[in-house]
Structure 1
């Protein structure tokens, strides 16, 4: 542990990296997932391989990429595939252990919305949409979601739109839906850590960050949130983890805030 000050971005990056212990292949997006995998490679998961939807497999970029099309993604990569090959053989072939996703909304079952806020015909906001998120949800062995904001606008009782359905919702709509994974198992937020073990379970609060209590998280959640009987506090970043993030991984502060 450390008494050093740290930001929410640093905390979420560190906690996400720790979750990758024992994992081998991670399908990640730009931003917090990139920071988390880079830190995991230097700490708990030196052999973890990073996969990007642009076709890069086994990424080891010389510096942090600033977009999914950044040329630095291919520097040091184990291979570069076409997007169709990556999705068809790597992701849909069942070779991804963890998919990292973000969303504007999440419900108690781990279904995600990244398409529209409000009514479809008269939305309050239109969002980027799925990209590869629906395929990542369906084909990764499990999915981690990282969300800085934890409030009733993001953690909702009912999604305004379901972009990435978890296994149970997908099979309810299409009984023979080709869903191989467990869906969302872990959600790391600015308030704490939520988990679910199976498609039939709701997300429940299993840890809170320093200075946060269960009532605060319940108040910020749009459904009656289940809370673990034993509710620990997450361990803050260590001095080594902060040094790696600040001095080696993102010294230019591309993503660190």
Structure 2
């Protein structure tokens, strides 16, 4: 039962945590994705297995790590291995989820974390792929957690760092990527977005409490589709909020100051 006031960021992280089922295997990075995965492990998915790009497998995180190579990503883990082994596990099709982000995402779930503007003369040069291209190409389902902003949700990304469904049905497979993989859900501070199984276009599937469809459309720079059955996202529970504030992010690095 929810009895506490919460922020949009807390709603976003709690919602993302609820999408990770018990017993799944997920590769996570730092920041909000790690907060969501750690929260899931502490609440609804105690057997969720976390993997980190630097080689940590199956840790029980005592605190949210500051990087994928933080020593906490190995704490009470099942294995301390290497980046090569993590990527090989993904290549074998054994990883259920990866969490990714980027400066831009388009209607087909393509992600850009490379440049804003022209590649040779960009307005902004971004960090690039890191392991994102590998993870988005090889893991079964890609989850994206990001604020909902028209500068992020664009008609066409300036650069495809990580392939989503490229330009539509069949394009991902034609590019040589494993069948059955690709973008799964995008969790924002407004809604849960999914992808139509036939058109592969992004669609609004669930609105967070108090959010209107018009608000989502106004903060999306393309004409976003809407699922036939539009749901309302569950409220964060008191247990989720307590764990998020007291165990996952007690210093407010991601969620800021609690209400």
Provide closer, same or farther for how the CA distance between residues 250 and 75 of structure 1 changes in structure 2, counting only shifts above 3 A.
Answer: same
Hey, what does 1:132 align to over in structure 2?
131
Runs of 4+ in 1 over 3 A off after TM superposition: 167-176, 197-200
* Unaligned 5+ runs, structure 2: none
**How many equivalent pairs are there?**
255
Q: Distance in 1 between matches of 2:116 and 2:17?
A: 30
Q: Distance in 1 between matches of 2:18 and 2:131?
A: 24
Hey, what does 2:153 align to over in structure 1?
155
* Shift of residue 169, structure 1, vs aligned partner: 5.1
Contact 2:22 2:46 in 1 (8 A): no
Provide closer, same or farther for how the CA distance between residues 176 and 252 of structure 1 changes in structure 2, counting only shifts above 3 A.
Answer: closer
CA distances 1:186-224 after superposition (whole Å, capped 9, x unpaired): 000111111115374211001112221111211211211
Matches within 5 A, 1:109-188: 109-148=108-147, 150-168=148-166, 172=171, 175=174, 177-188=176-187
Which secondary structure does the structure 1 equivalent of 2:26 belong to?
Answer: strand
Which secondary structure does the structure 2 equivalent of 1:66 belong to?
Answer: coil
Hey, what does 2:219 align to over in structure 1?
220
Hey, what does 1:4 align to over in structure 2?
4
Q: CA RMSD in A?
A: 2.0
Provide closer, same or farther for how the CA distance between residues 94 and 6 of structure 1 changes in structure 2, counting only shifts above 3 A.
Answer: same
| TM-score, normalization by structure 1 | 0.92
Provide closer, same or farther for how the CA distance between residues 139 and 174 of structure 1 changes in structure 2, counting only shifts above 3 A.
Answer: closer
| TM-score, normalization by structure 2 | 0.91
Hey, what does 1:82 align to over in structure 2?
82
Provide closer, same or farther for how the CA distance between residues 199 and 254 of structure 1 changes in structure 2, counting only shifts above 3 A.
Answer: farther
Which secondary structure does the structure 2 equivalent of 1:36 belong to?
Answer: helix
Contact 1:94 1:139 in 2 (8 A): yes
* Unaligned 5+ runs, structure 1: none
Contact 1:137 1:181 in 2 (8 A): no
Provide closer, same or farther for how the CA distance between residues 213 and 200 of structure 1 changes in structure 2, counting only shifts above 3 A.
Answer: same
CA distances 1:84-122 after superposition (whole Å, capped 9, x unpaired): 12212x111111101100111111111111111111122
* Shift of residue 185, structure 1, vs aligned partner: 1.2
Which secondary structure does the structure 2 equivalent of 1:232 belong to?
Answer: strand
* Shift of residue 236, structure 1, vs aligned partner: 1.8
